[in-house]
Amino acid sequence: MMGDLTTNEGQTWANNQNSQTAGARGPVLVQDYQLLEKLAHFNRERIPERVVHAKGAGAKGYFELTRDMSDYTMAGLFNGLGKKTPVITRFSQVAGEAGYPDTYRDVRGFAVRFYTDEGNYDIVGNNTPVFFINDALKFPDFIHSQKRDPKTHARSQDMQWDFWSLSPETVHQVTMLMSDRGIPASYRMMHGYGSHTFKWVNKQGEQFWVKYHFKTNQGVHNLSNEVAEELRGKDTDYLQNDLYNAIEDQDYPSWTVAVQIVPYKAGLDYSQDIFDVTKVISQKDYPLIEIGQMVLDENPKNNFEDIEELAFSPANFVPGIEASPDKLLQGRLFGYKDAARYRLGANYEQLATNRPKNEVHNYERDGLMAQNQNGDVNYEPNSLGGPEENRHAEVHGDALDGKVGNYSVNEDYYTAAGKLYRLLPTDEKARLIENIKSNLGQVKDIKIKIRETKQFYQADKEYGTRVAEALGLELSLIK
């Protein structure tokens, strides 16, 4: 027994079954404060959904360091063999709304927050090591093409393939999306990636470039189109429920965490731009180094408070980890926190799920829903003993040179997609072609089909030829 039912002001609630009325047949009285408050709160119970990654599920757990990385970074969570750091994760779909079925073909978000002793550190990635675009300026247009047609209000193959066919940097990710990994069988059974290149700095000031890899210990498993469609009709929350039920059954999912480390100068001189998120760094050149295990062993106590109010940001770094010149990453450093302020309010970082485990000391004050404020000095510099800056956390800058302008990366976008195609087993190649046929084949405008197929052909002649044959295009149109 939890005690008396009360209002949010703590007053005892006498009757939660019937409104106050003037006599048995009414009308309802305006003085029924409890009715009015209940309806008013109900009208405001929904917050704006995320513009992207609206549908998702999350869980809590820990990261345990199995290899000390203090030679490469001063970040505490990566220093000290056996160190455990609490984590919270969120897995998601990119394009669909909050009620969208889990088993549509889509990239999956893979976001991890580490509640470190030095503040929150977020890795906000996907289940693919690359992305569709490499410049934040194109992100709103890309997402618009994945959403609903402004006229028909329906998802449109024409829109997304039109954008992809006019954006050659997308061909690597499109190939991944149309391959088997486009429909994971479980959030537990997919890899995760930080995707971008980041910077690590050790206590001596030495700098390194780093890529994050989360390798599922459950094995990678994907769904066929047929099974995915069948599940879609039975359980729209299939992936969410699979994760929740596994943890409830104490079948705790885990991932081996590894990194690729590239010496600072070698990264700048690498054969391709390591800051272009449409490409990978070859593991032959820089093999994976296993550094730890991530285990998820706790479901949310309250999904709204723990997961829906959770606000990740790639800008959440701790000393020893910094941003790189990746143009898409640079835009995300602003975009995520700004989205959180719109969705949750100015003080979203004071919500329990976003609050760091160490104490917060700064001069930000007031605003909507401000909590835990005191009467201490609210300006800086001051002579009243307020918090002071610590140069230990200072960013280690990169040398810059060049004229201000709007630059295109202007690189080869096809080689990586061709390599990926040639790595696929024969049966997966066949499914890739069939998936492209069933999706691109729905596009009404033949010019879009030709443009996209030309990209596949430039990636690999066999790849493009097979797509052309599947779509019934003359080869002369794509060569």
Q: Residues with catalytic annotation?
A: 53, 126
Give φ, ψ of 201 to 5 degrees. -135, 130
Is the previous residue joined to 86 through a cis bond, with omega within 30 degrees of 0?
Answer: no
- Concatenate the DSSP letters of all residues of 99-149 into one string: TS-TTSS--EEEEEEEEETTEEEEEEEESSSS-S-S-GGGHHHHHHHHSB-
Alpha-carbon span 174 to 164, nearest angstrom: 8
Identify residue 218 by its one-letter amino acid code: Q
What is the spatial distance between Cα 126 and Cα 22, in angstroms, rounded to a whole number? 58
Structural tokens at position 46: 């929904």
Are 13 and 6 spatial neighbours (Cβ–Cβ below 8 Å)?
yes
Residue that has been written with the tokens 């189109």 in this structure: 225
Judge contact between 422 and 456, C-beta under 8 A: no
According to DSSP, the residues that pair with 109 across neighbouring strands are: 92, 126
DSSP code string of 173-236: HHHHHHSGGGSBS-GGGS-EE--S-EEEE-TT--EEEEEEEEEETT---B--HHHHHHHHHH-T
The conformation of residue 155, written as its DSSP 8-state character, comes to B
Q: Is 452 in contact with 166 (CB distance < 8 Å)? A: no
Task: Report the distance separating Cα 72 and Cα 65, nearest Å.
Answer: 14
Structure tokens given for 392:
């230990």
Side chain identity at residue 448, one-letter code = I
Q: Residue 249 corresponds to which tokens in the numbers above?
A: 């059954």
d(C-alpha 243, C-alpha 91), whole Å: 10
CA dihedral 220, 225, 230, 236 (to 10 degrees): 70
349: left (phi over 0), alpha (psi -120 to 50) or beta: alpha
Which residue has tokens 């999904």? Answer: 303
